[in-house]
């Protein structure tokens, strides 16, 4: 069975997470620039003397498809390399994948990873 590990992290932590995943043997991942907010609820910035509210904070979403037995390890690697100890470090969740197909070859399941 397959799982997908999804993480939302701070953009400046992407390189360290990518390097840690590569060192852990992860062959591929998908990265998307996203915006959102959690408990922090955004923040206030000042531009040319005017103060304005930033409701959505820039984040990076990382997705790694893997075999079920590797999902917890991958989540731990991401958490360890993305943690700053400050608010807004992000979230990680693991979801089952019912079906995966490599488009080029038609391989399915774990062969498609």
Predicted confidence (pLDDT) per residue in 81-91, tens digit: 999 999 889 99
DSSP class per residue in 34-88: EEE-STT--EEEEETTEEEEE-SEEEEEEEEEEEGGGHHHHHHHHHHHH--SSTT
Average pLDDT over residues 70-89: 96
pLDDT in tens, 9-63: 999 999 999 999 999 999 999 999 999 887 766 666 667 777 767 778 899 999 9
Which domains are delineated in the chain? 2-112 (3.30.70.120)
**Could you give the CA distance from residue 11 to residue 36 in angstroms, rounded to a whole number?**
12
Bigger pLDDT: 64 vs 50: 64
**Does residue 31 contact residue 14 with C-beta atoms inside 8 Å?**
yes
Q: What is the pTM of this model?
A: 0.87
């Amino acid at each position: 069975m397959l799982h997908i590990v999804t993480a939302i992290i701070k953009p400046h932590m992407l390189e360290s997470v990518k390097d840690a995943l590569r060192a852990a043997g992860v062959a591929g991942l998908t990265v998307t620039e996203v915006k959102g907010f959690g408990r922090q609820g955004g923040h206030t910035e000042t531009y040319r003397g005017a103060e304005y509210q930033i409701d959505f904070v820039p984040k990076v979403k990382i997705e790694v498809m893997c075999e079920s037995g590797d999902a917890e390890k991958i989540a731990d690697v991401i958490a360890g390399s993305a943690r700053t100890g400050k608010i807004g470090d992000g979230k990680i969740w693991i979801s089952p994948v019912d079906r995966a197909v490599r488009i080029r070859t038609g391989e399915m399941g774990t062969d498609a990873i």
